[in-house]
Amino acid sequence: MPLQFPGNFRFGSATAAYQIEGAPHEGGKQDSIWDVFCRVPGAIVNGESGDVACDHYHRYEQDVAMMAGLGLDTYRFSVSWPRVLDGDRVLSEGMDFYSRLVDELLGKGIRPWLTLYHWDLPAALPGGWTNRDTAEKFVDYALALHERLGDRVHTWTTLNEPWCSSFLSYAAGQHAPGGTDIADSLRAAHHLLLAHGLTVQALREVAPQAELGITLNFTPAIAASDTEADLSVARRVNGTANRFFVEPIFTGHYPSDVLDDLAEYWPDDLVHEGDLAAISTPIDLLGVNYYTTNVVRAGEIEAGPTPHVSAPDAVQVLRDLPLTEMGWEVHPEGLRDLLNWLHTHYTGPAGVPLVITENGAAFDDRPDADGYVDDTADRVDYLRRHLGAVHAAIDDGVPVQGYLVWSLMDNFEWAMGYAKRFGIVSVDQNLRRTPKASAQWYGQVARTHQLPD
Ligand code: IFM
C-alpha cells in the first residue's frame, strides 16, 4: 500500500549559496570566509572552490523552472551575507538578485524558505564567530534582508547546522576558517546561538506573523556495548553533536554534563547575563538535518583536531550497512528514532513542529551518454526509506510538517569539492542540468503526496 502524507505536508529541496551560486565578486561582493579558505593549499580536495559552482547566480530562472517542473512546492535557499552587505553598506545588486529569485519562485507557485546563514560569513569581520560582535552584526544583516524581502518571504531560518560552523570550523579545522582551538570553537558555538536568539527576537518584532526557526544537524551516536567506556563516549559525542544546540534553545541552559566535560576549555566570561534567555526565545519550527547514525566505541585518544571536542577517544564501528559515497551508513530507522527523541524531550513540550530541512545522499553516479543518471538502486532507495521513516514518525505522533531533499542539484560539497554528488539533478562540467531518476521519482511523490511501495 502506498503511504499517504498529509495534504499540507511540504515537499521541496534545499541548497546553499556558496555551494551553487558562483559569481564570487559580482555586484561588489567581498570575500566570505569560504572564498578565503578555498585558497588555502590542501584545504579542499583538488583545490576546488565555489567560484563557479552551478552558476546559479546567472541561471536561477532555469533552476526555478526545473523545480516547478518536478512539482516541488518549497525551496530552501541561503543568502550570502557578503553578497548583500559590505560592512553596513547595502549592495543593491546582491539584494536585487535575491529579490528576483523570490519573485521567480512565487511566480511558479513555490514557497521561498530563506536561510540567513549557511556558513559564508564575510571574511572582513574581525575574529569571525569567536567575536561576540558578530552576533550583533548578524541581527543587522537579518533586518536589512527582511526589509527587502520580508513582504514576500514568510519562512526564515537563522542558522544552518551551527555544529559545523563551530566545532568543524574552529576546532577540527575542516571547514572555514580552519581553526583548531577548542576554546575558540566554544566561543563560536555560543555566539552563533546568541546570533540566532537575538535575530529571532528582532525579526519577531518586525514580523510577528513570520515563521521563524533554526536548522540543526543531528548524527545520533549509539554505544557499541554496555561497557562504561563505550556508554561514556556515546554520551559525550551525543552531548556536543546533538544536545549542545537543541538543549539551550528549548530549555534555556547548556547540558550540564557537557559543561563538565568541557570545563577546562570553557572561556571565562563567555556567557553574559540574558544570553540564554535570548537563545531560548520561542521558535515556530525546528529544522532537522539527518544523514546517518553512528555506532561508537571508546578507543585511543585521537591526536590532533577533531570535531568531537569532548570525545577525542570516539571510534566509529561500522555495521553491515550500505555506505554512501561520504562513507556514511544508510540507517533510516535512526531518523524515526531521532524525530521521536526530539519530540519527547524538546519540541513536543514546546509545541513546536519539525521539518526535515535536509536529507539525501551522495552516490557513485554514472551518467549515460546523454548525461542521464539512473540512481534507482541507491538514491531513490535511500529517499524512499527515509521518507518511510518520516511517515512512521508521523504515525508515532510526531508533528513533522515537511521534507526538503538535499540537494536540488549536484554542487560544491565544501572540503570534499565536486566529487560528492548529492543532487537529484546532475550538473555536468558544462553546467548542463539533467534530472536523475531520483528527481522524477521524488517529483511524483511531491505531486501525489504518496510514497509508492
Ligand atoms: O552539503 C552539506 C550541506 O551544506 C549541509 N548539510 C550536509 C550537506 C551534505 O554534507
Give pLDDT tens digits for 349-370: 999 999 999 999 999 999 999 9
- Name the residue with the closest Cα to ligand 1, atom 9: 413
Domain residue spans in the chain? 3-219+238-289+326-451
Q: Which atom of ligand 1 is nearest to the CA of 118?
A: 4
Distance from the alpha carbon of residue 417 to the mean position of ligand 1, in angstroms: 12
Cα 20 to ligand 1 centre (Å): 12
Please tell me whether residue 98 adopts helix, strand or coil conformation.
helix
Q: At residue 18, what are phi and psi to the nearest 5 degrees?
A: -65, -25
pTM over cut 0.85 = yes
Omega before residue 177 within 30° of 0, cis:
yes
Say yes or no: CB of residue 120 within 6 Å of ligand 1: no
Dump pLDDT digits (tens) for 200-225.
Answer: 999 999 999 999 999 999 999 999 99
Q: How far is CA 267 from the centre of its chain?
A: 27
> Which grid cell is 343?
519530540
Work out the burial of residue 388: count CB atoms within 10 Å of its CB; fewer than 13 is exposed, 13-18 middle, 19 or more buried: middle
**Whether 302 is catalytic:** no
Q: Say yes or no: CB of residue 261 within 6 Å of ligand 1.
A: no
Mutate to test the pocket of ligand 1, among 20, 422, 424, 427 (most ligand atoms within 8 A of CB): 422
What does the pLDDT look like over 55-90, one tens digit per residue?
999 999 999 999 999 999 999 999 999 999 999 999
Identified catalytic residue from 161, 247, 329, 413: 161
- C-alpha to C-alpha distance for 450 and 445, rounded to whole angstroms: 5
Q: Rounded CA gap, 45 and 215, in Å?
A: 27
State yes or no: is 333 an active-site residue.
no
Please give the distance, rounded to the nearest whole angstrom, from the Cα atom of residue 228 to the centre of ligand 1.
33
pLDDT tens digits for the chain (453 residues)?
A: 899 999 999 999 999 999 999 999 999 999 999 999 999 999 999 999 999 999 999 999 999 999 999 999 999 999 999 999 999 999 999 999 999 999 999 999 999 999 999 999 999 999 999 999 999 999 999 999 999 999 999 999 999 999 999 999 999 999 999 999 999 999 999 999 999 999 999 999 999 999 999 999 999 999 999 999 999 999 999 999 999 999 999 999 999 999 999 999 999 999 999 999 999 999 999 999 999 999 999 999 878 899 999 999 999 999 999 999 999 999 999 999 999 999 999 999 999 999 999 999 999 999 999 999 999 999 999 999 999 999 999 999 999 999 999 999 999 999 999 999 999 999 999 999 999 999 999 999 999 999 998
In sequence order, the β-bridge partners of residue 409 are 425
Ligand 1: centre distance to CA 160 (Å): 9
Tell me which CATH homologous superfamily contains domain 3-219+238-289+326-451. Glycosidases (3.20.20.80)
Q: Ligand 1 test: best mutation among 291, 358, 412, most atoms within 8 Å of CB?
A: 358
